[in-house]
């Protein structure tokens, strides 16, 4: 799978933001690192396309500094085929979903895509909110071969206005001829201008040969997109935090063996029999981690995790039925954090509980209770706990921006979520929800309670 140049780990984005202006001579000096305000992690949809990637994706939700405004992105691709079934074109649908009432309701705002016809892949990324809480900045990422186009999209909650900024058109008057330049949005300035970098791309330079356009930093100021150099010590604003309660999360088992899923050089964290079916031989679950464990001290290090379920066909031949992988970090992804065998309802059929944590210091959690249903293995559906939790809120309370904590007991799953004061963000109480397995379904055991 090919990833566009724009989708990079946060450390690389930070390096681009701190890069120097174009060289004025051999004695070029390194520029100072640009200060940043409450920078949110990179939040993007998955790679979406008609031929490469997935057909649709949505991002996590990012709350503004006050937590009142929130945004998430959606992106889908629909192939148009001729009579022979050959894809003739690929239509994409882009939208920003906005809440201005602390996540209680969201409004879908369509975004008009560009007219590029030869695009191979797409992604939609949130860079963050402005410092004054009013505007969210997203980036439409489109690529084909070595070409990458980054189009900023602004949504102003005060004016209820969405605006797509054609950076290539803005920068065209100063773009050198025969020199392709990559424009890379970085965030807001303190005056709500769009800060971005510009550098030549696709060059094959020989030793000693100079680039046709060195890395530089610029700003495009609304409302007329006035272009000017970004001052050396400008503050880059990517404000906000992830609102986990507004970000549906799930694990996706895939059929068969995932890439590198049974690498014997990777650490084996779990090797256990699982009796999904009452009759017959038990299945086996293996969980491997390739690379050193994830560490908050080294937040840019992301190991690969693979959990597989196998069925022994004979003493020497195992068939891998499914794989649960972690998502790449540059997709705001997660790593597997725990895997345990359980029998919640005590009927003799076991389940496999898998828990994952999103990368980052305040990473949210997602989970799967893998069980047999109708002769196949599935992650069991669960009640919508986010909706149930919102029903428990009082007028001055909010659920942003903490994450669920999950506890596996012998006969139940316990979910806890903090409740916060809307104005101060102080923790007021904790909501508890208990899920049990009844008649092959996960259901809520009684009413929720708080303490």
The pLDDT of residue 1:
28
The pLDDT of residue 57:
82
The pLDDT of residue 359:
73
The pLDDT of residue 21:
28
The pLDDT of residue 139:
94
Report helix, strand or coil for 4: coil
The pLDDT of residue 313:
64
Q: In whole angstroms, what is the distance from residue 227 CA to residue 150 CA?
A: 17
Q: In whole angstroms, what is the distance from residue 112 CA to residue 119 CA?
A: 15
Cis omega (within 30 of 0) on the bond before 223?
yes
CA dihedral 99, 112, 156, 362 (to 10 degrees): 50
The pLDDT of residue 85:
72
Largest pairwise CA distance in the chain: 77
Cis omega (within 30 of 0) on the bond before 428?
no
pLDDT by residue, tens only, the chain of 451 residues: 223 333 333 322 332 232 222 333 322 332 333 333 345 555 767 677 776 667 788 888 999 999 999 999 998 888 777 777 776 677 888 999 999 999 999 999 999 876 655 567 788 899 999 999 999 999 998 887 778 899 999 999 999 999 999 999 999 998 888 888 999 999 999 999 999 999 998 777 788 888 899 999 999 998 888 999 999 889 999 999 889 999 877 777 888 887 778 888 899 999 999 999 888 888 999 999 887 776 666 555 667 888 999 987 665 678 899 998 876 544 456 788 899 999 999 999 999 999 998 876 667 888 999 999 888 899 999 999 999 999 999 999 999 988 899 999 999 999 999 999 998 889 999 999 999 999 889 999 975 444 4
The pLDDT of residue 294:
65
Q: Which H or E run contains 176?
A: none
CB atoms within 10 A of CB 260: 13
φ and ψ at residue 16, rounded to 5 degrees = -60, -40
422-451 b/e with 16+ CB inside 10 Å = b?
Answer: beeeeeeeebebbbbbeeeebebbeebeee
This prediction's pTM: 0.81
Residues with Cβ within 8 Å of residue 94, at least 6 apart in sequence? 73, 74, 75, 110, 111, 112, 113, 124, 140, 153
The pLDDT of residue 34:
34
């Amino acid at each position: 799978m090919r990833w566009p140049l724009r989708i990079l780990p946060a450390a690389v984005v930070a390096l681009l933001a701190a890069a120097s202006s174009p060289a004025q001579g051999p004695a070029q000096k390194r520029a100072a690192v640009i200060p940043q305000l409450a920078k949110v992690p990179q939040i993007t949809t998955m790679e979406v396309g008609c031929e490469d990637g997935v057909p649709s994706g949505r991002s996590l939700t990012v709350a503004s500094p006050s937590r009142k405004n929130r945004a998430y992105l959606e992106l889908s691709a629909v192939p148009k085929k001729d009579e022979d079934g050959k894809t003739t074109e690929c239509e994409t649908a882009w939208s920003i979903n906005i809440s201005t009432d602390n996540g209680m309701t969201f409004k879908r705002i369509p975004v008009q895509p560009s007219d590029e016809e030869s695009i191979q892949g797409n992604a939609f990324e949130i860079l963050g909110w402005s410092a004054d809480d009013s505007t969210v900045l997203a980036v439409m990422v489109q690529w084909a071969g070595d070409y990458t186009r980054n189009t900023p999209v602004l949504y102003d909650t005060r004016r209820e206005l969405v605006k797509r900024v054609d950076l290539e058109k803005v920068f065209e008057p100063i773009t050198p001829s025969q020199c392709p330049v990559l424009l890379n949005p970085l965030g807001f300035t303190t005056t709500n201008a769009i800060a971005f970098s510009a550098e030549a791309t696709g060059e094959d330079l020989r030793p000693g040969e100079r680039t046709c356009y060195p890395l530089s930093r610029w700003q495009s100021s609304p409302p007329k997109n006035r272009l000017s150099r970004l001052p050396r010590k400008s503050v880059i604003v990517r404000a906000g935090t992830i609102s986990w309660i507004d970000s549906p999360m799930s694990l996706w088992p895939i059929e068969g063996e995932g890439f590198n899923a049974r690498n014997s050089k990777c650490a084996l964290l779990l090797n256990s029999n699982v009796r999904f079916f009452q009759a017959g031989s038990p299945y086996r679950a293996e969980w491997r981690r390739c690379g050193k464990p994830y560490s908050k001290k080294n937040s840019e290090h992301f190991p690969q995790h693979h959990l597989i379920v196998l069925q022994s066909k004979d003493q020497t031949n195992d068939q891998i039925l499914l794989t649960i992988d972690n998502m790449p970090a540059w997709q705001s992804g997660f790593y597997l954090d725990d895997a345990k065998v359980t029998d919640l309802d005590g009927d003799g059929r076991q389940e496999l509980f898998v828990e994952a944590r999103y990368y980052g210091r305040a990473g949210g959690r997602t989970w799967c209770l893998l069980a047999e249903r109708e002769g196949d293995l599935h992650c069991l559906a669960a009640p919508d706990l986010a909706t149930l939790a919102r029903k428990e809120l009082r007028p001055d309370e909010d659920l942003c921006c903490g994450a669920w904590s999950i506890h596996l007991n012998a006969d139940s799953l316990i979910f806890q979520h903090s409740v916060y004061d809307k104005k101060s963000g102080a923790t007021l109480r904790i909501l508890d929800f208990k899920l049990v397995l009844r008649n092959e379904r996960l259901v809520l055991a009684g009413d929720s309670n708080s303490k």
